[in-house]
Amino acid sequence: MSSTVRVRIAPSPTGDPHVGTAYIGLLNYIYAKQRGGKFILRIEDTDRTRFVPTSEAMIFEALRWLGIDWDEGPDVGGPHGPYRQSERTEIYRAHTSTLIENGSAYRCFCTPEELDQRRKAQLAAKMAPRYDGTCRRLTKEQVDANLAAGKSFTVRLAVPAEGATVFRDELRGEITIDHHNVDDQVLMKSDGFPTYHLANVVDDHLMEITDVIRAEEWISSTPKHVLLYKAFGWELPKFWHMPLLRNTDKSKISKRKNPVSLIYYRQAGFLPQAMLNFLGLMGGGMPAPGDHNNTPEQNRAAEIFSMADMLERFVFERISLGGPVFDLVKLKWLNGEYLRALSKEEFAQQMRDVIFSDAFLAKLTPLVQNRVETLAQVGDIADFLFKDNVVPAEDVWMPKKRSREETLAFTGELLAALEGAEWAEPAIDAAIRALLTAKEWSVKEGFTLLRTIMTGTASSPPLLESLGIFGKARSLDRMRRFLDAQKKISKS
């Protein structure tokens, strides 16, 4: 194996690019660049049920926006391609055969229904929900008969019944997990696509990854990966598990409780260098020379650093293991610092790029042109598109015939419906109307509610067009903020 450091991130194209991807991406990037190594981007698109076609391009764009660029990847190529897992199915198939042949894996003919039933029974009996090993005990004749009958199957890892897997986490030391607690994980789904566990190990080996730097949530399944490396007779990479970014309530960061889409941050006017700086603060890898002998200015500057500073001073061994809360308040402060540090020209350019772009003004024009008598009135009717915070009055958003609880519950469902919708007027319209019909709300009630949340008032340019140009990320964020604010009022 080559001695060059090679690391990777492997995001799934299942939606908007995630702030957690940027965090782990940044860490991997720094690790590679500090050691003269390579940073690889691999697309983990093996789950066809959650695949979102537009997602991959957005991931590329968002990472590049932040300045996290890759040496090898689907779009730039490289010596170990393809870098899209959906294009590597033959590789996984061949490796799966190897595992079956050497007894490290076996075919499983159990149906999803059977598995589901058994899992529920195990849970009801207060047992750990594990695969019961039915197909592991199949004779060769039975397997052949099933195969001949054309039954569909998955391939599972044959985890040793006894013993334990011990592996080293570079930040935590040795971690031991007993094999009684490791499930016979599915490696190859019945649709012929591998699961994360298989694809990840095979690709990491083939792509000569030396250090696996990923989120803490993977610690529990690391034994499966170690077992796979052993089954193939491959050398293990080093494992570095990074703390998970958290919501204010300390749970794993999620869109319900925090904006997590990088698209949102970009469109809301956060600067990439501020986001990068903030992510670098999470986990404390930067030595912080803050001290009471310093001036306030020096102390503040100690927390303000660029990518170049991080490449120079970031120390992986310093990373603290408690899950850091992704605190929007501090991110905003940092962003403000960067914004103020801009020259007048640069600031003006940022406004032109992000909120007053020609493209945006062009989209806005049809909404306002025949509704104004003077240009000054544009602000009167379209102010909500240029605001971050709109506060709708209660007597406007709540329909006369609905209760507060009912309305908020409806809003929650509307949010969920819109999250799943493609962001084009017909699709948005369809999603709203489907919910209105299902919940027996009138079109007027529903549209007025949404209009008020989005614009703060009961009259505005056409709602669907407004949503369209305002964008999905910020529209949904506005709804979530509305719900959050109302929940707080309900509590007090």
Q: Measure Cα distances from 265 to 16, 159, 275, 336, 477 in Å.
A: 11, 43, 8, 14, 10
Q: Is residue 329 within the footprint of RNA (CB under 7 A)?
A: yes
Would you count residue 239 as binding RNA (CB under 7 A)?
A: no
Segment lying near RNA (by CB under 7 A), choices 64-72, 210-218, 406-414, 458-466: 210-218
We find the least distance from the C-beta atom of residue 329 to RNA, in angstroms, to be: 5
Given 15, 73, 237, 323, the residue binding RNA (CB under 7 A): 323
The amino acid that residue 446 corresponds to is G
Among 25, 73, 74, 324, binds RNA (CB under 7 A): 324
Q: Does 318 bind RNA (CB under 7 A)?
A: yes
Maximum Cα–Cα distance across the chain: 84
- Those residues with Cβ within 8 angstroms of residue 55's Cβ, 6 or more apart along the chain or in another chain: 13, 14, 15, 16, 17
Q: Which residue lies nearer to RNA by CB, 282 or 414?
A: 282
Asked if 111 touches RNA (CB under 7 A), the answer is: yes
Stretch that binds RNA, among 110-118, 342-350, 379-387, 394-402 (CB under 7 A): 110-118
| Beta strand 164-169 pairing with 173-178 | antiparallel
Which of positions 128-157 make contact with RNA (CB under 7 A)? 128-131, 152, 154
The helix (H) or strand (E) run that includes residue 152 is none
Residue of 167, 204, 213, 237 lying closest to 316 (CA atoms): 213
Identify which of residues 46 and 475 has a Cβ nearer to RNA in the complex.
46
Q: Among residues 51 and 462, whose Cβ is nearest to RNA?
A: 51
Torsion angle, alpha carbons of 163, 165, 166, 171, to 10:
-150
Q: Shortest gap between Cβ of 30 and RNA (angstroms)?
A: 15
Pairwise CA distance, residues 68 & 63, whole Å? 5
Report 391-430 residues binding RNA (CB under 7 A). Answer: none
Q: Which region, judged by CB under 7 A, interacts with RNA, from 182-190, 232-240, 266-274, 482-490?
A: 182-190
Nearer to RNA, 49 or 369 (CB): 49
The catalytic site residues sit at 255
Identify the residue among 91, 175, 416, 483 touching RNA (CB under 7 A): 175
Name which of 288 and 424 has its Cβ closer to RNA: 288
What is the footprint of RNA within residues 271-300 (CB under 7 A)? 281-284, 288, 290-292, 294-297, 299-300
Residue 332: count of CB within 10 angstroms of its CB: 15
In the complex, least distance from residue 138 CB atom to RNA, rounded to whole angstroms: 15
Q: Is 219 in the site for RNA (CB under 7 A)?
A: yes
Q: Contact between 181 and RNA (CB under 7 A)?
A: yes
Q: Which of 159, 168, 170 is nearest to 197 (CA)?
A: 159
Is 268 a binding residue for RNA by CB under 7 A? The answer is no
Is 126 a binding residue for RNA by CB under 7 A? The answer is yes
Alpha carbon distance 324, 330 (integer Å): 12
Ramachandran quadrant class, 283 (left: phi over 0; alpha: psi -120 to 50; beta: rest): left
Q: Report how far Cα 131 is from the mean position of its chain's Cα atoms.
A: 28
Q: Work out how close the CB of 122 gets to RNA at its nearest, in angstroms, rounded to a whole number.
A: 8
Give how far Cα 145 sits from Cα of 94, 102, 150, 186, 435, Å.
Answer: 22, 21, 9, 21, 48
Which segment (132-140, 314-322, 384-392, 393-401) binds RNA by CB under 7 A?
A: 314-322
Count of chain residues binding RNA (CB under 7 A): 79
Under a CB-based contact definition with an 8 Å cutoff, are residues 323 and 249 in contact? Answer: no
Site for RNA in 244-263 (CB under 7 A): 244, 246, 248-252
Q: Are 439 and 412 in contact (CB under 8 A)?
A: no
In the complex, the smallest distance separating the C-beta of residue 56 from RNA, rounded to whole angstroms, is 13
One-letter-per-residue 3-state SS of 175-221: EEEEHHHCCCCEEECCCCCECHHHHHHHHHHHCCCCEEEEEHHHHHH
Indicate the residue among 1 and 341 with the shorter CB distance to RNA.
341
Q: Looking only at residues 13 through 42 of this chain, which bind RNA when binding is defined by CB under 7 A?
A: none
Q: What count of residues does the chain have?
A: 492
In the complex with RNA, the residue whose CB is nearer, 249 or 358, is 249
Report the residue number, 248 or 403, with the smaller CB distance to RNA: 248
Distance (Å, whole) CA 38 – CA 303? 27
190 binds RNA (CB under 7 A): yes
Name the DSSP class of 17. P
Binding of RNA by 344 (CB under 7 A): no
